[in-house]
A and B are shown apart, each in its own frame.
Chain A
Amino acid sequence: MLSIKDLHASINGKEILKGLSLDMGAGEVHAIMGPNGSGKSTLSKVLAGREEYEVTSGTVTYQGENLLEMSPEERAHQGIFMAFQYPVELPGVNNTYFMQASLNAIRKARGEPELNSLNFIKLVRTKLKALEMDESLLKRSVNTGFSGGEMKRNEILQMTLLEPTLSILDETDSGLDIDALRMVSMGVNSLRSPERSMLVITHYQRLLDYIQPDYVHVLSGGRIIRSGDKSLALELEEKGYGWLQEEAAA
């Protein structure tokens, strides 16, 4: 599905990713953990295609294609979805209208028929119900006046709607209370399948109780310094990152 080889990326001349390598197969859920400043956010932004980051060397191959050559919307058309850590507000842009436009843009790119408003609303309603979310969300402007929890749930709603092949969840759990966490995880887990992969970036182990990963990687100093299964996350919770960093330095 996704193959990152020796990725180096900088912003404003400062190198953040210093030779990151990662392989993800279809149907796998990988968790990325690491201390602040390790490059977790940078990784997700580079994968989503933010132009302020410069890839200085390395490759990223997605489903056999060179991902780095694709524009952000092309990556979306190819099935990549990023749940933002800080979703942005779009005042005056109706939430339903936005989601319909997004879904249809992706369908169109794939040669699939677009959904008319009636059918789209039907679809959205089913997704909302599955996530135990309120319909009032549909009438509001995108993320405008949303609480932190509402924004994150709105991201997951979009995810269930667009059914991506590769989802990148950038610190989706930050700022969520237990109930919101449960709902968000439910949505994410509902999309797990042998054809889909997920990259879950998180600071705390707690999310991984709900979204159980197949692999856990620790990112530090712009590189992955340790990989393991979900028990690695528990070990980190107990010991912190320090012991790994010392090991890596040695």
Chain B
Amino acid sequence: MSAALLNYYQALAAAAPAEHAYQAVGRERLSLVDLPNRKQEGWRYTPLAPILDHQFSAASREEGLLEPEDIVPLRVTPADHVCVVLLNGFFMPELSTLPAQVGLEVLDLEQAIQNSAAGIERLGSLSGDCLHLFGAVNAALTGAGAYLRVTDKLSQPVEVLHINYSFDSDVISSPRLLVQVEANASLTLLEQHVKFADSLNMHNGLTEIFLGEGAELLHPRLQNDSLRTRHLSSLYTQQAAGSLYKGTTLALGSAWSRTEFHLDFVGGHAHCELNGFYLAGEQQMQSMHLDVLHSVPDCSSRETFKGILYGQGKGVFDGNILVKKDAQKTDARLSNDNLLLSRDAEIDTKPRLEIYADDVQCSHGTTVGQIDPEMLFYLRARGIPKAEATGMICQGFAAELIAHCEYPALETKALAILQERLTPVAADL
């Protein structure tokens, strides 16, 4: 079975149109890589059947499936702001809103490659040799996606909307986002993965972010894929001196998700704040994997992750902080807090520290627990019925994290989804 699947993806790669030199790296890797399996540390707790049991066909650009009016209710940014729509990973100019903005360049990735847009040679430099099978698939199919380059302090956010919708079922889309925020520029980049239909698709996205000296990026992401979608997204960042990255990922949808974060610093006095929230209920599996690398001195990072597990949901958190020998004065803190609401829910968490420098401040903390009975009693003593009180406490637990998005419209949407999902659950607790 495994050989067959590997051959299948190799063939898929071979058939892809040649766009960029990086595809050769992907193909090469596909010929060497093993399928992910539970014996590999990075997949230890992850059920693999959902992604290995299907031979997903490669997505293709499908015109005429959606109209611009379909996009309007899905957005959280005002109608005149930049909004890039990626349909099955492909940049759709007719569905997107692309007003000209000083200091902002937004292109179809394919076009950016063809035009040798500034910095395009950086494509693939962060994802390198491709971590695993799906990273290699994304590399081999390079072409779909978007290119963003910011050279100014932008006041308006840019929204990227990922829609999985196809006449075919069992389609895998592999968009790549290349984001460059040059020195002293700043951007708010909002991403949403929206539910549009219930087909059994797989999202295999990869984002590479370059922050120049003093650059700032606020990056909230809301994943609310359909409950049959498999979602795999890998994020790679590279921060130059004095830069700031504030990313928040909310994983609420999908049947199975794996969100990877690979953070790197190349200059001192840079700071990264990474937040994540996962909601796993029904039979969902949500996993978050962090790889924070401190290889230069004087940088700081704060990673805050929270999860609510209910029904038969399963959560996996795997967070590694690696501080190399010369990375003195690193300040890195990681926390992961989990709320388990049902008998059948499960959480596996593995926060890790690898420290090779001594003049550092590093710590991590993890908790797994349930709703504090004191809190519940207090609310009920004030007249609030149990189910509502439970809901309030869960919302409170999540809201703290969701607030890191720093974009009210997105936060409201996320909280509404949370409320909708948890209300029936709270009633049963």
Do A's and B's CB atoms come within 8 Å in the complex? no
